[in-house]
Amino acid sequence: MPVVETRRQGAWIALLALCTVFAVLFAGLGAWQVKRLAWKLDLMARVEAGIHAAPVDAPAPGDVSPEDEYRRVALQGRFINERETLVQAVTELGGGFWVLTPFATTRGFTVLVNRGFVPPDNRAPASRADGQIEGETTLVGLLRLSEPGGGFLRRNDPATDRWFSRDVAAIAQARHLDNAASYFVDADDTPVPGGLPVGGLTVVRFSNNHLVYALTWFALALMCVGAGIRAWRGGRRA
């Protein structure tokens, strides 16, 4: 066999091997996205069921798990209003602050409660005095996991009391809270005296592009298969 034809055949074989490797790789990525799709659909169904279920007792500090997020929980106790924390927020009502107030439960631990949104003009507690609930009370809300670090391109600064995310551990340390739970609770839309803070603004939204990604990877795998078939035929002709 002439040297030129041997080299040409070798090139076709190398191309076939390369197409086979990429076809397997892309098919594997597509299968992984299918698994991710099933996981995401299960998560969305679980969260949807949780936010509409009857409230359960809020878990003790050491009993919470990632599966508890967005579960409706009930708390009984009193607010520690003098230790509230304002966290910058952007909501459907505009820019302003979340009001995170420690809640001393009757079960002996403390939970940070996101009581809701206030506009910048009402960041001072005195401007919404009617909403500063005193004495023992009961509240219902959605359990949320901590948001450590800060917001997008902005880090929390406890030293200057500037907060961009609901970092439970950092806020609990800054406010000297004892036996604090590792989660916080978004209060529901139960009316508050004076109208502020505005609760019930939790946004439950999950991106779900796994099907698109899976189809893309499978399409690339089929393209590699087509290229491999062409390389195989080219090798036979060579």
| Per-domain boundaries in the chain | 3-48+208-237, 71-195
Range in 84-88, 103-107, 180-184, 221-225 with the lowest mean pLDDT: 221-225
Map residue 184 onto helix, strand or coil: strand
Is the CA virtual torsion 138, 141, 144, 150 positive or negative?
Answer: negative
* Contact assessment for residue 2 and residue 204, using Cβ atoms and an 8 Å cutoff: no
Overall pTM surpassing 0.75 (yes/no): no
What average pLDDT does this structure show over 61-78? 88
Share of the chain above pLDDT 70, in %: 87
Is the CA virtual torsion 130, 132, 138, 142 positive or negative?
Answer: positive
